Amino acid sequence: MKTQNYILTIAGLDPSSGAGITSDIKTFEAHGLHGLSVCTAVTVQNDIAFKNCIWIEEQIILNQIETLFERFEIAVVKIGIIQSWEVLLTVVLALKSENPNIKIILDPVLKASAGFDFHSTQNLKVFEKVLQNCYFVTPNYDEIKALFPAKNIEETIDFISEKTNIYLKGGHRADKKGWDEVYYSKIVKLNIPPITTAVSEKHGSGCVLSSALAANLALKFSLEDACKNTKWYTEQFLNSNKSLLGTHNYKPNY
């Protein structure tokens, strides 16, 4: 099995396929990769309403991971919703055990767009250990403000940057809406402005961005090029139609 052909998503199942593992798989395949998936939750939702979340047991998640690594070489993984930071840390350490060099892209989903809270109370010390084992974290502005409530955004960015790279999504910004920022190598900042004006918001656009970033890294683009390609892909997704469910007709910008 060739490493570069396979990529893994660890996330929840969204019946509308706008977000979660099915959305990630669409994104991976649009980039020419074969997507593997581990289910962490079964959600009861459509593109406008989130009603319930049934969490998959930790051991079953670990069994899924172990079974995939028995068969496939996996160099990059995207992680979405997981029940708690404690379970997330267990999953991250299991991935590192399977492949010490694996690149983990974490989308720290705290709340569904319909208002469902995934993580109301968390052990931040555990989350710090998670960050230390990730290659990228991809919060939006609402999420980065909520991750460490005692810190302001600048303090949170500085704190996280000491542990991992940040792709800060700009869709929820009050100023410069749509401007993304990437923080890497602790001190380097990359500004990525909007390329076009989005036709409409899309259910699962955060999932799409993080899985596109994972895909570009799996394709061995440099960090900066991977981030720019990710922005390009996400904006094509946002402009694909006027509904809440986007399509994945990828036209590379390279």
Coil, strand, or helix at residue 153?
helix
pLDDT of residue 3: 46
Superfamily of domain 6-239: Ribokinase (3.40.1190.20)
pLDDT of residue 102: 98
pLDDT of residue 21: 97
Which range, of 24-33, 170-179, 200-209, 244-253, averages the lowest pLDDT? 170-179
- pLDDT range class, residue 227, cuts 50, 70, 90: very high
| Average pLDDT score over residue span 203-225 | 94
Alpha-carbon distance of 63 to 86, in angstroms, equals 17
CA angle 125, 126, 131 (to 5 degrees): 95
- pLDDT range class, residue 56, cuts 50, 70, 90: very high
Alpha-carbon distance of 15 to 8, in angstroms, equals 19
**Are the beta carbons of 202 and 246 closer than 8 angstroms?**
yes
pLDDT at position 188 over 90: no
Mean pLDDT over each residue of the chain, to the nearest integer: 89
pLDDT of residue 42: 97
Task: List pLDDT tens digits, range 74-108.
Answer: 999 999 999 999 999 999 999 999 999 999 999 99
